[in-house]
Structure 1
Amino acid sequence: MASNVDQAVGRVIGSLCVVSAMNGDVESAMVASWVSQASFVPPGITLAVAKDRAVESLTLPGSKFILNVLGDGKSSAIMKQLLKPFKPGEPRFEGLKTKQASSGGRIVLDAISWMECTAKSHMESGDHWVLYATVEDGQLQDDKTLTALHYRKTGTRY
C-alpha cells in the first residue's frame, strides 16, 4: 500500500514525450513524463532522466537532443514501440515515422510538436538527473490535438 506522501506525489502530472539523442553512431531514445517548461527567455525545459537510462550519457551539458511531445489519443503506437525492451544497437524507431534533425536526434512525425534542445546543466536528484536545456528550434505539427498526459496513482513508480 502506498503511503499518503507517495499518493500525493503521484498526482503530479507530466506531458508524455519522447527524448531522442545521437552522438556519432550511438543513438538512443526514451519515453519521458517528467518534463516541464523552466524559462521564458531563453525558452527552456527541465527533464528528469533515470540514472540507468542509456540516453542519459547523450544528454550531458553541451549535448543536443530532440524532445517530441506526444498527442492525446495519438500516442499508443509510439509508446508501444519505445517502451519495449531493446538490446544494444537494436533500432528503437523501427516502424515509426521519423526524420533526422540537424543535431542527429529523431523527430517523431506523429508527435504534436518537437523541440531541438541543448543541455545546459545536469543536477543530481536522488535516483534521477534533472536536466535543464534551452530550446534552439522547434515546430508545432498539430495544433488541434492536446498534449498526452501521464497520470499516476503513486509517486513510487512511473
Structure 2
Amino acid sequence: MKHFLKRFPPGADRFAGVKTQPASDGSPILTDALAYMECEVVSRMECSDHWVVYSTVNAGRVSKPESLTAVHHRKLGNSY
C-alpha cells in the first residue's frame, strides 16, 4: 500500500516493481492482496483535483480468508 501513496510523474507506470498477476479482464491484481474486485467503470465525475468513479463489480475473490484485514484512512483530507 505504501508504494501507491507516493506521487508519480505523469505517464509513469505505477505498477513498476510491484508483483502482479492478471485478472480475467486483464487488469493487474497485486500478488500479495488479501482480496480484489474486478470492476467496470459506469461513470466518472471530476471534482476539483480528484475523480469520483462509479463502477459495477463483475468479479472478485477473497484470496486469503484467514488473514487479518485493515482499513486505510486519512485523518485530514489534505495529507496522509
Give the alignment's TM-score, normalised by structure 1. Answer: 0.41
Structure 1, unpaired ranges of 5+: 1-77
1:142 to 44, 59, 64: 64
1:92 to 11, 15, 34: 15
Residues 73-128 of structure 1: CA deviation (Å, up to 9, x unaligned): xxxxx523x3455564557241x332112322111121111111000011222321
Residues 58-84 of structure 1: CA deviation (Å, up to 9, x unaligned): xxxxxxxxxxxxxxxxxxxx523x345
1:130 to 44, 52, 69: 52
- Larger helix percent: 1
Contact 1:86/1:92, CA 8 A, preserved across alignment: no
Please list, as runs of the form range in 1=range in 2, the aligned pairs for 1:4-153 lying within 5 A after superposition.
78-80=1-3, 82-84=4-6, 86=8, 88=11, 90=13, 92-94=15-17, 96-153=18-75
| SS of structure 2 residue aligned to 1:150 | coil
RMSD after superposition: 2.4
| SS of structure 2 residue aligned to 1:153 | coil
Give the structure, 1 or 2, with the largest relative contact order (CA under 8 Å, sep 6 or more).
1
- Number of equivalenced pairs: 79
Instruction: Letter of the 1:110 partner, please give it.
Output: D
Structure 2, unpaired ranges of 5+: none
Alpha carbons of structure 1 residues 111 and 155: separation in structure 2 relative to 1, 3 Å:
same
Alpha carbons of structure 1 residues 130 and 89: separation in structure 2 relative to 1, 3 Å:
closer
Give the alignment's TM-score, normalised by structure 2. Answer: 0.72
Identical amino acids, percent of aligned pairs: 42
User: What residue is the counterpart of 1:156 in the other structure?
Assistant: 78
| SS of structure 2 residue aligned to 1:144 | coil
